[in-house]
Amino acid sequence: MSNLNHFELKNKFIQSPLNYTGGKFKLLNQLLPLFPKENEIIVDLFCGGANVGLNLKASKLILNDKQKELIELFALFKRLSFEELFKALQSLIEEYKLSQSAKFGYEFYKCDSTKGLSSHNKEPFLRLRKAYNQDKDPLKLFLLIVFGFNNQIRFNLKKEFNLPCGKRDFNLKIQEKLRLFMAALKTRQVFLENKDFRAFDIKNLDKNSFVYIDPPYFLANASYNENKAWSKDDECDLLEFLKMLDSKKIKFALSNVLFHKQKEHIILKKWLEKNPKFRLVHLNFSYKNCNYQSKNDFSQEILLRNY
């Protein structure tokens, strides 16, 4: 076992069952050695799929995200046992006549693993999506994510889930991800918050605390940053928030990019020039597989620290 500051189950990282755009699962091997080794309180301020937060070890972990639906999902995962959740999901899958490849295979639905199951699931998926947009049941939302495009979350301006049907279903791989993720939520002292970072209460944080900050990237055009969800004002306010954390001797690390899609993050660059005390680490990572970046684009992923 490594002595890195992370929580492991069965000698592997916990991977979120949600494919959150910009999630840091593939960066954990680089990020975790850069984080403080001992913390009483850890805050994952923009937790997203919680790939980072649930792989960190502390007496108290706070997962915060502004997206209410996401935190409601995590609350569901904390409240129910895996067996209870699995039974409820299976009941919905049967009710809407969605595919069950783990049980019947692909040929049963006249599909194959290359083309996927969307030809069978499209109509029941649309009925499920319509039902969720009416009753906002988090159980239905999780199924939409599982059966939806790339297992992602996206809402329109009316707060309606609007991703199309994807190629996969509630297969054995995602079942195992969900089981391990729920186990990690339950074996830790995990608290859930649903706040804008400006409203997050830091009065109980001190030098023994660590705040990991992975905001929507100002330069990115990902699903979480559509409809102008992250503005220049948000970016500037966040940079001021970093200075406030530092003034209170609270350790933080910020993930971001200095370059993306041939654009330079001028706001961050100028801020760094004015605040040279913070440490910048360049990470080895490419977003070439993300649906919002073309093959020839270059991104420079960085981690900014005050320790």
Quick one: pLDDT at residue 7?
44
Residue 225 banded pLDDT, cuts 50, 70, 90: very low
**Domain layout of the chain by residue ranges:** 88-173
> Once rounded to an integer, what is the mean pLDDT over residues 202-222?
89
Q: What is the DSSP string of 221-260?
A: --GGGGGG-S-HHHHHHHHHHHHHHHHTT-EEEEEEEEEE
Evaluate if residue 170 carries a pLDDT over 80: yes
- Taking each helix axis from N to C end, the angle separating 82-95 and 138-147, rounded to the nearest 10 degrees, works out to 70
Q: What is the DSSP string of 104-126?
A: H-SGGGT-BTTTBSHHHHHHHHH
Quick one: pLDDT at residue 27?
95
Quick one: pLDDT at residue 286?
58
Mean pLDDT of the chain: 90
Quick one: pLDDT at residue 260?
78
Evaluate if residue 287 carries a pLDDT over 80: no
Quick one: pLDDT at residue 188?
86
DSSP code for 77: H
Q: Is 282 helix (H, G, I), strand (E, B) or coil?
A: strand
Residue 294 banded pLDDT, cuts 50, 70, 90: very low
- How, if at all, do strands 251-260 and 300-305 pair? antiparallel
Residue 220 banded pLDDT, cuts 50, 70, 90: low
Evaluate if residue 16 carries a pLDDT over 50: yes
Least confident of 109-118, 138-147, 244-253, 291-300: 291-300
Evaluate if residue 133 carries a pLDDT over 70: yes
Evaluate if residue 190 carries a pLDDT over 50: yes
CA distances from 93 to 101, 179, 248 (A): 11, 18, 49
CA distances from 79 to 49, 140, 167, 182, 238 (A): 17, 16, 29, 10, 32
Quick one: pLDDT at residue 285?
72
Digit-coded pLDDT (tens) for 48-98:
999 999 999 999 999 999 999 999 999 999 999 999 999 999 999 999 999
Backbone angles phi, psi at 146, to 5 degrees: -60, -45
Residue 219 banded pLDDT, cuts 50, 70, 90: confident
Quick one: pLDDT at residue 130?
98
Q: What is the CATH number of domain 88-173?
A: 1.10.1020.10
Picking from 301, 293, 304, 287, the residue whose alpha carbon sits closest to that of residue 259 is 301
Evaluate if residue 292 carries a pLDDT over 60: no
Quick one: pLDDT at residue 227?
56
Evaluate if residue 211 carries a pLDDT over 50: yes
